[in-house]
Chain A
Amino acid sequence: MSRSRRRRLFSNLVVFLCSAAVLVALVPLAFIFVYVVKQGFSSLNWDFFTQMPKPVGEAGGGMANAIVGTLMLMGIASLLAIPVGMMCGIYLAEYGAGKFAFFVRFAADVLNGVPSIVIGIFAYGLAVLPFKRFSAVAGGMALGFMMIPIIARTTEELLKLVPSSLREGALALGASRAKASFSVMVPAALPGIMTGILVAVARIAGETAPLLFTSFNNRFFTTRVDQPIASLTVQVYTYAISPYEDWHRQAWAGALVLVGVVFFFSVLARVVTRRLERMHRT
């Protein structure tokens, strides 16, 4: 029983523990996923996508308004966050060495970590109270604030990966720094930046807390952005804590659709990343 034997035994033990960690964590996690899919599928039907919610206690109905609402909120958030996030990222990539850039980067990181419920309070004060209305814009704004840092940081990272020879070439041809940035660097990095945007969208699509007191909820179908609007997440929450079996069923269906939306964007982001990797390799 030499020391080396003990060392090897201990090593194997660690290897075993790590594998066990994967089993005890990932397997139940995968189980949650399967459970949601199972419950969701058994509750999902065509009405879910085409019908409005029914009055309390009446069975049937769907979440058509909430699905459209969620899509609209995502759209408004993207409209706000993509330009701001990208511009901010471009700034960081171009002038990233300075003291100010350090602050910007830190601010973006903080913004990324601020609990979404706090963003909700902020958006309530900024876009609900002064205008005396809950609105889709307020909700979209809250979500947009959460997207900005993700987009900004990916843009920055991606721009840094563009070979500097490209920029130098543009500059040598007499382009201004801004021109080089926008017409050469950004297009080169654009596909990569897209993945950042997709990841950001995937993250906000599942947010509930910041919507509770910004976009509020709406029983009716609306596409007006200055009115309260339904969203899948808030609707799932409302239904989940209710005592009605039929609403529970719909909450599961809503959860499945949500997971579907989120996964769609996550997987899309991954596929784009893959293709980029391949492109870079060749």
Chain B
Amino acid sequence: MGTGFFALLVVLLVAGIGVQLFRTSHLTIAKFGFNFWRTKTWDPVSGEFGALPFIWGTLYSSVLAMLISTPIAIGIAIFLSELSPGPLRTPLTFLTELLAAIPSIVYGLWGIFVLVPLVRHFEVLTPPWLKKVPLFSGPPLGVGMLSAALILAIMVIPFSSSVAREVLRAVPASQREAAYALGATRWEAIRAALSYGRTGILGAVMLGFGRALGETMAVTMVIGNNPQVSASLFAPQHTMAAVIANEFTEAADDLYLSALVEIGLVLFVLTVLINGISRFLIWRTGRVVATEEIDSTPLAASEAGA
């Protein structure tokens, strides 16, 4: 059974990643235990490592990005699958898919040279009374949490909306027809479709969230790379993925390296959890093939029609 070997290989690969991360991070796991995740001093000089600022930065930027991108992504998905006039649909769909494929380094480049100056411009305009609110405190740098969240949102929108559109497309036409037959308005028909595919859409959002958590290059280029726990949108902060990219090759002693790998380990565990949950949700909606980007559903549809 030759093919089984390769299937086993894939499982081993994933297990291997987990085992290797775990083994390489044993130093900090043994030394700091759970405190690693509760303290916020990241001081390679004295060998004190607390990862709270990175967790905070990752969660803050990702959650913020999801708050911005989710309504927009769902709106786009609805437009593309339910409302769009025929001739617009194909080019728009194509555009979303292409945008989902733009490399993150390109978004990062755009972020540095266009988004950051733009954000700084708006930060400078912030009136003094507003600066007293912790959310908007601090000097106007441009680089910081706001830029990071915006760039993440921009990157996640095409991705989440593609998946959500697939979910909506998989909702049987009978659902909407039944709604219309009962005299429903357009929105009410859409709502019927939405509620039919709600778990799948939630799954799409979760997948987008997973993407945002692990995004590295674009974020590190605009977030300011400063480990601090701050509520301010203007403050430069740091994320888990960014600190690995910045410091991995230069972690000069073993404890330092171990600390970085432990951060990687947590990213890995988060991935397993998020994927587990979201795949389960998408799977529950049934027929949706949740492969990424362009998938085989058009084939499936034509196959069914043939």
Contacts and interface: CB of A to CB of B under 8 A. Distances in A.
B292 A119 contact: no
B294 A213 contact: no
A90 B3 CA distance: 7
A54 interface: no
Interface string A111-129: 1111111111110111000
B10 interface: yes
B178 interface: no
A25 interface: yes
B10 A115 contact: no
A84 B9 CA distance: 8
Contacts of B2: 87, 178
B226 interface: no
Nearest to A255: B106
Interface in B85-133: 92, 94-99, 101-110, 112-114
A263 B98 contact: yes
A196 B190 CA distance: 31
Contact of B112 (A18, A154, A212, A240): A240
Given A10-B187, A113-B275, A125-B24, A18 B95 contact: no
B16 interface: yes
Contact of A29 (B7, B17, B94, B158): B158
Interface string A1-24: 000000110111111011111101
Contacts of A84: 6, 9-10
A126 B72 CA distance: 41
Interface in A178-232: 178, 181, 192, 195-196, 199, 202-203, 205-209, 212-213
Contact of A115 (B102, B107, B215, B276): B215
Contacts of B216: 115-117, 208-209
A232 to B, nearest CB: 9
Nearest to B187: A11
Interface stretch (B30-38, B44-52, B260-268): B260-268
A18 B6 contact: no
B21 A118 contact: yes
Nearest to B25: A121
Size range of the chain A interface in the assembly: 35 or more
Contacts of B245: 117, 209, 212
A120 B207 CA distance: 21
Interface string B1-35: 01111111111011111001100100000000000
Contacts of B300: 161
A36 interface: yes
B188 interface: yes
Interface string A160-184: 0100000000000000001001000
A117 B13 CA distance: 16
Interface residues of B, number: 97
Contact of B154 (A28, A101, A152): A28
B302 interface: yes
A158 B13 contact: no
B31 to A, nearest CB: 19
Nearest to B189: A11
A18 B271 contact: no
A16 to B, nearest CB: 10
B276 A192 contact: no
Contacts of A17: 75
A237 B105 contact: yes
Contact of B4 (A8, A21, A33, A91): A91
A109 interface: yes
B144 to A, nearest CB: 16
Interface stretch (B76-84, B134-142, B169-177): B76-84
B254 interface: no
Contacts of A63: none
Interface of B: 2-11, 13-17, 20-21, 24, 71-76, 78-80, 82-83, 92, 94-99, 101-110, 112-114, 154, 157-158, 161, 185-188, 190, 207, 210-211, 213-217, 221, 241, 244-245, 248-249, 260-261, 264, 267-268, 271-272, 274-276, 279, 289, 291-296, 298-300, 302-303, 305-306
9 contacts: A7-B187, A25-B72, A32-B110, A33-B102, A36-B106, A112-B292, A113-B211, A240-B109, A240-B112
Interface of A: 7-8, 10-15, 17-22, 24-26, 28-30, 32-33, 35-36, 83-84, 87-88, 90-92, 94-95, 100-101, 103-104, 106-122, 124-126, 145, 148-150, 152-154, 157-158, 161, 178, 181, 192, 195-196, 199, 202-203, 205-209, 212-213, 233, 236-237, 240-241, 248, 251-252, 255, 258-259, 262-263, 266-267, 269-270, 273, 276-277, 280-281
Given A104-B7, A107-B14, A124-B248, 6 more contacts: A32-B114, A36-B102, A117-B245, A121-B24, A121-B264, A262-B101
3 interchain residue pairs of minimum CB distance: A206-B103, A115-B214, A21-B75
